[in-house]
């Protein structure tokens, strides 16, 4: 577990709710029929509706980018705007970008394989190759905003968003950056969706037009969430939350480790995040009940965020904050069944 203190001062997201700065207005979102590729019958997912990035962030040029990079640019711009940060007044060599992703630029990787399938390995299209690297979205964020600080892309099975937030806070704590843009997200592609399908992970709700069941149902999703993270002591600005400490592990006594991290703190809110697979969903809520005070409010995982399997944590957090939870200490909790857990302690205003 690590002990930091950083303020979350800006929020931006591109999700099935659309591109938004700040909190996400309450309202249901339902899975939609997939039309981006041909499916064998009805297949549903939470998809980001196409939009023109320049209509959200004037001047943004994304014509040559894949969706993940374009969304990272939009979400980071909205988060900075929401934080009221004018980068022209900031030493941009001291601004870090930390991006958490499970699959990176999967669209471009698939496009490169497609060109190999059609033309052979000797005739591949060069354009998707460097842009298909997982760090391309974070690099585009740096390039667009002129950010010359650490630029890091992390992956962690089911816990990429949590890992990104913890590592960004660590950069601030060690004086390696004065401000960090933390992002997490993935795009949904045919290859990813069909992997879930062949692996038998999809919810029945992916195959029919019925409303989603209450819980424990995995419907793939996509999107990018962004947070602006600043050292708490540096700014008087409004903060959505203060990040106090966090940790993650692959195995072990999750309840014991988290209690140790809490150090006697009693979270009044436990926000359940993590993957949407039924086992993870059940175990996260179960763990929340095990470690939480009986009076703690347990916020169940949100299917639209849980569907971004590896990188949904930040969207979970934004959705939970959008529900205006009561102030005090909150725990963002994720488990992957017996394959890992993460816990982030936050202080809500």
Q: Which of 9, 151, 217, 334 binds another protein (CB under 8 A)?
A: 151
In angstroms, give the least distance from the CB of 178 to another protein: 13
Residue 136 binds another protein (CB under 8 A): yes
Integer CA distances (angstroms), 259 to 165, 267, 346, in order: 20, 11, 14
Tokens of 166: 């913890």
Q: For helices 67-83 and 106-119, give the axis angle rounded to 10 degrees.
A: 160
Task: Evaluate whether 289 touches 298 at the Cβ level (below 8 Å).
Answer: yes
Which residue lies nearer to another protein by CB, 136 or 269? 136
Tokens of 95: 């601004």
Binding to another protein, residues 239-258 (CB under 8 A):
247-252
In angstroms, give the least distance from the CB of 110 to another protein: 5
Residue 42 binds another protein (CB under 8 A): no
Which residue lies nearer to another protein by CB, 167 or 187? 167
Binding to another protein, residues 159-178 (CB under 8 A):
160, 163, 166-167, 170-171, 173-174, 176
For residue 153, which phi and psi values (nearest 5 degrees)? Answer: -115, 125
Q: Which of 18, 157, 298, 337 binds another protein (CB under 8 A)?
A: 157
Round to whole Å and give the CA distance between 68 and 66: 6
Candidates 1-9, 26-34, 280-288, 289-297; binding stretch for another protein (CB under 8 A): 1-9
Which residue lies nearer to another protein by CB, 91 or 293? 91
Which residue lies nearer to another protein by CB, 79 or 192? 192
In angstroms, give the least distance from the CB of 173 to another protein: 7
Residue 201 binds another protein (CB under 8 A): no
> Taking Cα atoms as reference points, which of 305, 312, 237, 273 lies closest to residue 80?
237
Binding to another protein, residues 276-315 (CB under 8 A):
310
Burial letters for 214-234: b for 16+ Cβ neighbours within 10 Å, e otherwise?
eebbbbbbbbbbbbbbbbbee
Tokens of 104: 């990176």
Binding to another protein, residues 74-113 (CB under 8 A):
92-93, 97, 101-104, 109-113
> Taking Cα atoms as reference points, which of 156, 180, 249 lies closest to residue 4?
180
Round to whole Å and give the CA distance between 169 and 254: 22
In angstroms, give the least distance from the CB of 158 to another protein: 9
Q: Which of 155, 278, 282, 337 binds another protein (CB under 8 A)?
A: 155
- Vertex 166: Cα angle to 100 and 45 (nearest 5): 35
């Amino acid at each position: 577990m690590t002990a930091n203190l950083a303020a979350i001062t800006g929020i931006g997201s591109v999700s099935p709710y659309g591109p938004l700065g700040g909190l996400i207005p309450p309202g249901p979102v339902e899975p939609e029929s997939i039309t981006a590729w041909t499916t064998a019958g009805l297949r549903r997912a939470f998809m980001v509706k196409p939009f023109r990035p320049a209509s959200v962030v004037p001047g943004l040029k994304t014509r040559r980018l894949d969706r993940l990079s374009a969304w990272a640019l939009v979400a980071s711009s909205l988060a900075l705007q929401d934080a009221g940060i004018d980068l022209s007044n900031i030493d941009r060599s001291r601004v870090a970008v930390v991006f958490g992703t499970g699959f990176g630029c999967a669209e471009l990787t698939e496009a490169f394989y497609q060109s190999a399938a059609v033309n052979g390995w000797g005739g591949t299209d060069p354009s998707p190759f460097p842009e298909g690297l997982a760090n391309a979205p974070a690099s585009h964020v740096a390039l667009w905003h002129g950010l010359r600080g650490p630029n890091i892309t992390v992956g962690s099975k089911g816990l990429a968003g949590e890992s990104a937030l913890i590592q960004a806070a660590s950069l601030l704590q060690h004086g390696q950056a004065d401000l960090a843009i933390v992002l997490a997200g993935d795009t949904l592609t045919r290859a990813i969706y069909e992997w879930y399908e062949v692996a038998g992970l999809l919810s029945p709700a992916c195959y029919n037009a019925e409303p989603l069941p209450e819980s424990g149902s995995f419907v793939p999703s996509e999107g990018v969430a962004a947070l602006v993270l600043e050292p708490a002591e540096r700014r008087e600005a409004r903060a959505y939350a203060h990040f106090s400490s966090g940790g993650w592990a692959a195995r072990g006594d999750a309840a014991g480790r988290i209690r140790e991290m809490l150090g006697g703190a009693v979270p009044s809110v436990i926000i359940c995040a993590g993957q949407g697979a039924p086992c993870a969903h059940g175990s996260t809520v179960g763990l929340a009940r095990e470690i939480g005070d009986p009076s703690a409010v347990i916020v169940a995982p949100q299917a639209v965020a849980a569907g971004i399997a590896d990188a949904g944590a930040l969207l979970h957090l934004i959705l939970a904050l959008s529900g205006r939870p009561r102030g005090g200490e909150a725990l963002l909790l994720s488990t992957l069944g017996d394959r890992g857990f993460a816990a982030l302690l936050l202080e809500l205003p």
